[in-house]
Chain A
Amino acid sequence: EDKVVQSPLSLVVHEGDTVTLNCSYEVTNFRSLLWYKQEKKAPTFLFMLTSSGIEKKSGRLSSILDKKELFSILNITATQTGDSAVYLCAAFPRRDDKIIFGKGTRLHILP
C-alpha cells in the first residue's frame, strides 16, 4: 500500500533556529513529491520535486528529494513566528491520479 510518512509530527523551536522536516514515501511508480504549508485555512503550495538531488529554494525555505532513499527534506532557516504552520508532504504516483498526503508536521515558532 502506498504511504507517506512525515516526521516529526510536532516541533517547537525558537525564532532564528533552523529546522529540518522529513518526509519518506513508499509509492508505486513515483512521479513527484510536493510540500504544502497550511496555516489556519487551506494548504498553499511550496515546492514540487521530481528529480533527485536538485535543491529547490524560495527565500528561507529549501527542499530536496532523494529518489534512491525515498525521502525528502524541507529546511527552514532563520525561522520566524510566521513560519508557524502545519507542513504537509504529498506523493504523486504515475499509475493513477490519487495524491497521497502525509499526516503533516506541526511547527510552532516561539518568539
Chain B
Amino acid sequence: NAGVTQTPKFQVLKTGQSMTLQCAQDMNHEYMSWYRQDPGMGLRLIHYSVGAGITDQGEVPNGYNVSRSTTEDFPLRLLSAAPSQTSVYFCASSPYALAKNIQYFGAGTRLSVL
C-alpha cells in the first residue's frame, strides 16, 4: 500500500523562486490537508480540502496556494519562496465520511529557502 506519497523529500530554493510540493493518496480519502512543522511549534494547518474542487484556508495560508482537481492529488504551491517558509511540510489524508479525524501522514518534505 502506497498510502500518502509526498515528493520531493528534500528541496532547496532561492528566495523568490516558485515550486510545487506534490501529494498523492491512493486510499480514496475525501479529506486532505497540508501542514508545516517548525521547531517547537507543533503542526500548523496551511490549507485543507474536504473533496475534489473544494479547498479552504487553515491557520497559516499566506504565501501558499492549493487546488484539488482530483480526489487523489492535493499539490501545494509556493508562489514566491521566502526564508520564513523554510520548514518541514506534511501532507495528510483521512476518510472524511467515516473517520475524518484519523489522518494518515506522508513522509514529509524538508524545504530550505535561502
A residues in contact (CB < 8 Å) with B: 6, 9, 31-32, 34, 41-45, 48, 88, 90, 92, 96-104
Number of B residues with CB within 8 Å of any CB on chain A: 25
A34's contact among B42, B90, B102, by CB below 8 Å, is which? B102
A42-B107, A45-B104, A92-B101 known; A101+B44 contact, CB < 8 A = yes
A86 to chain B, nearest CB (A): 9
Among B42, B58, B108, the residue within 8 A (CB) of A41 is B108
A103-B101 contact in complex given A41-B107, A98-B48, C-beta closer than 8 Å: no
Task: Tell me which residues across on chain A come within 8 A of B48, comparing CB atoms.
Answer: 97-98
Between A and B, how many residue pairs show CB distances below 8 Å? 54
Check A98–B59 contact: CB distance below 8 A: yes
B102: chain A residues within 8 A (beta carbon): 34, 45, 48
Interface 1/0s, chain B 72-84, versus A by CB < 8 A?
A: 0000000000000
Check A42/B106 contact, CB under 8 A, given A98-B59, A103-B40: yes
User: Is the CB–CB distance between A34 and B43 below 8 Å?
Assistant: no
Chain A residues with Cβ below 8 Å from B58 are 98
B26 within 8 A of partner (CB):
no
Given the known interface contacts A42-B90, A97-B48, A98-B45, the answer about A34 and B40 at a Cβ–Cβ threshold of 8 Å is no
Contacts of B59 in A (CB 8 A): 98, 100
